[in-house]
Copies of this chain bind each other. A is one copy, B any other.
Amino acid sequence: MPVDLDSLNLSMGKKARMYNLFYAHGPGHGMGMFLPVDQGLEHGPRDFFANPDSQDPDFEMRLAEAGNFSAIVFQIGIAEKYCYSYAGRVPLVLKLNGKTEIPSSDEALSPQIAMVEDAVRLGASAVGYTLYVGSPKQSEDFVQFSRIRLEAERMGMPVIVWSYPRGRAVEEKGGQLTSWAIEYAARVAAELGADVVKVNLPEYSAEKHARTPKEYSSRMFSEEEAVRRVVAAAGKIPVLVSGGSQVSDEDVLHKAELSIKCGATGLIFGRNVWQRQWDDALRITNRIREMMVEYRQR
């Protein structure tokens, strides 16, 4: 579903930057296709083994330009050192928090490592924030997020929230991939003031579904219905669907089409793009963009 910028009561700065992401670049017409490259921090260099070229952030920068992505997503260090020569041509989403996968994620919290001020200084079009909904450290997370939200509001900077259910208590109630958890996370992002929300798609598991609250465990949703429900849970907030670990062409395209068909405003696929060789990465990118254009024209 294309984002309607006039319906969101955005400040002028936010509207201008959202326009840059959803209209001036990428598939445009209110749709978005983002290239996230924060896995070097989140998972470490092991994610680059599948395609050794991908270890050099310039590979992804070139890909973002050649594949006409709406924006590339980097952490501050990479953004500062690698984006200068692409400034203006490829929009930047500056990720503001992050962590390694080394310590336990039972009490997950993604600490702030860059400021809205950095994003402004680098000419970014939005900031990204990972929110771990339901984590025992949720309180700290909400407070950390809210300071960023306010700062972003003052500076007219859109906030994209990676809204992920996470931590012990989520696992006890069925886990991070249940409809219950993902819909809840989408709503939380909307309640807290996200301008765009990034979610994972639910994955059905009978055993896990049974552990969710009774409103959910007593119902079954089809695959499409489950996706539509997540989009609905976010309300007016545009939804980006996350790609996750690398899968087959068929599966990538299915996920992309399913998302767009069920109301998502865009896709944010990283490893499924840059873990492929250059040509292959461009090819899948083009197929996805064409699919988005098709849906837009319906």
Q: Which residues of A contact B (CB under 8 A)?
A: 8-9, 38, 40-41, 44-46, 49, 55-57, 75-78, 80-84, 98-100, 102-104, 109, 111-115, 117-118, 121, 133-136, 138-140, 142-143, 145-146, 149-150, 153, 165, 167, 169-170, 173, 180, 183-184, 187-194, 213, 215-216, 232-233, 235-237
Contacts and interface: CB of A to CB of B under 8 A. Distances in A.
A135 B138 CA distance: 17
B44 A138 contact: no
A113 B145 contact: yes
Given A75-B192, A76-B193, A191-B41, A99 B142 contact: yes
Given A169-B103, A192-B76, A193-B76, A143 B44 contact: no
28 contacts: A9-B81, A41-B187, A44-B180, A44-B183, A44-B184, A44-B187, A46-B213, A46-B215, A75-B192, A76-B191, A76-B192, A77-B190, A77-B194, A77-B237, A78-B191, A80-B193, A81-B190, A100-B138, A102-B173, A111-B140, A112-B143, A113-B142, A113-B143, A113-B192, A114-B146, A114-B150, A115-B150, A121-B153
A201 B138 CA distance: 29
Contact of A103 (B44, B46, B57, B134): B134
Contacts of A100: 133-134, 138, 184, 188
A43 to B, nearest CB: 9
Interface residue SS majority, chain A? helix
A187 B40 contact: yes
A121 B134 CA distance: 29
Contact of A135 (B103, B115, B237): B103
Contacts of A189: 77
A115 B149 CA distance: 10
Contacts of A83: 9
Contacts of A78: 190-191, 235
Contact of A180 (B46, B75, B187): B46
Contacts of A99: 138-139, 142
B102 A134 contact: yes
A10 to B, nearest CB: 9
